[in-house]
A and B are shown apart, each in its own frame.
Chain A
Amino acid sequence: MEKKKPKKVFVQGAIPPEKIANSIANHQSKTNIGAHSIFLGQIRADTIDGKTVSAIDYSAYEEMAENAFHEIREAAFSKFDITCAHIYHSLGKVKAGELCFFVFTSSAHRKNAIEACNYFVEEIKAKVPIFGKEIFKDETHQWKVNN
C-alpha cells in the first residue's frame, strides 16, 4: 500500500505552529548539526480593490508536485552540504494569519543551512504545480499568481 516516496510534503489545512517546535525537538539528538534555517509562509490578508483576503484554498497537480519536490530535494542535496531537509506545504483552506509553507534545513554550519533553505523556497514557488484561490471576506475569489 505504502508508496516508495521519500517524504510526504502536503498537509491538509494549515500547518500547526507546534509542528515547527516538534521538528526542532526531533533534531536535538543529531549533534553533528550546528545550524538550522527555517522559512515559514503565512497567509497575508491582502486588500485588493477594497476587498480583504480571508483565506487561500490551495490545490495541486499532486503526482507531478510530489515528483517536483523530489527533484528539488535531490538538487539541493547535491548543491549544499546539508544534513537534512524537511518541507511541508498546505492543501485546502488556510486562513489569513495561519501557516501554509514550512521549510527546515539543517547543516553543520549556518551558510549551507541558510542558502539551502532559500533555494528550496524559490525553487518550490517557481517549479511546483500548486494553485491558490484567494478567498475574500465576501466569499468572492481570485486566483493567486506568484511573482
Chain B
Amino acid sequence: MKVNLKYFGMIAESVGKTEEVLELGENISLEELKARQVQKHNIADPESIQLAVNQDLNTEVELKDDDEVAFLPPFAGG
C-alpha cells in the first residue's frame, strides 16, 4: 500500500523534507512505521512525537492505502 507521510517543524528539519510517499507492506502498524522513520532519519526525542492519521490524533487505527500520516512535534501555538 501507498502511504503519504508529512513532516513538520523540527521533524521536517531532521528528515530534510516536508513530505514523501512510501510503499509499505500490508499489516505494518503505525508504531512500526514511526519506529522505522525515527531510526531511518535519526529523529530526536521520539517520545514527544504524535502521529495523526488523516488529520486525526486517534492512532488506534489500521493503516490503509492512500492514508496521510503526519509526524507532529510538540505543539507551540500561542
Show the binding face of A for B, using Cβ within 8 Å. Answer: 41, 58-61, 63-64, 67, 89, 100-101, 121, 124-133, 143-146
Q: Which of B1-42 contact A (CB under 8 A)?
A: 6, 8-10
Q: 12 additional contacts, CB 8 Å, given A129-B52, A133-B9, A145-B48?
A: A59-B8, A60-B8, A60-B77, A89-B78, A100-B78, A124-B77, A126-B75, A129-B70, A132-B9, A132-B76, A143-B73, A146-B74
For A146, list chain B residues within 8 Å (CB): 74-78
Show the binding face of B for A, using Cβ within 8 Å. Answer: 6, 8-10, 48, 52, 55, 70, 72-78
For B6, list chain A residues within 8 Å (CB): 61
B78→A125 contact, CB < 8 A: yes
**Shortest Cβ gap from B25 to chain A (Å):** 26
For B10, list chain A residues within 8 Å (CB): 131, 143
Bound-complex Cα distance A125 to B76 (A): 7
**Shortest Cβ gap from A10 to chain B (Å):** 11
Bound-complex Cα distance A128 to B77 (A): 7
When A129-B8, A133-B9 are in contact, do A61 and B52 touch as well, CB less than 8 Å? yes
For A64, list chain B residues within 8 Å (CB): 52, 55, 70
Bound-complex Cα distance A100 to B52 (A): 25
For B52, list chain A residues within 8 Å (CB): 61, 64, 129
For B48, list chain A residues within 8 Å (CB): 145
Partner of A143, one of B55, B70, B72, B76: B76
List 11 A-B residue pairs with CB atoms under 8 Å apart, sorted by A's residue number: A41-B78, A59-B8, A59-B9, A64-B70, A89-B78, A129-B8, A143-B73, A143-B76, A145-B74, A146-B76, A146-B77
For A128, list chain B residues within 8 Å (CB): 75, 77
A144→B70 contact, CB < 8 A: no
When A59-B9, A61-B8, A61-B52 are in contact, do A129 and B78 touch as well, CB less than 8 Å? no
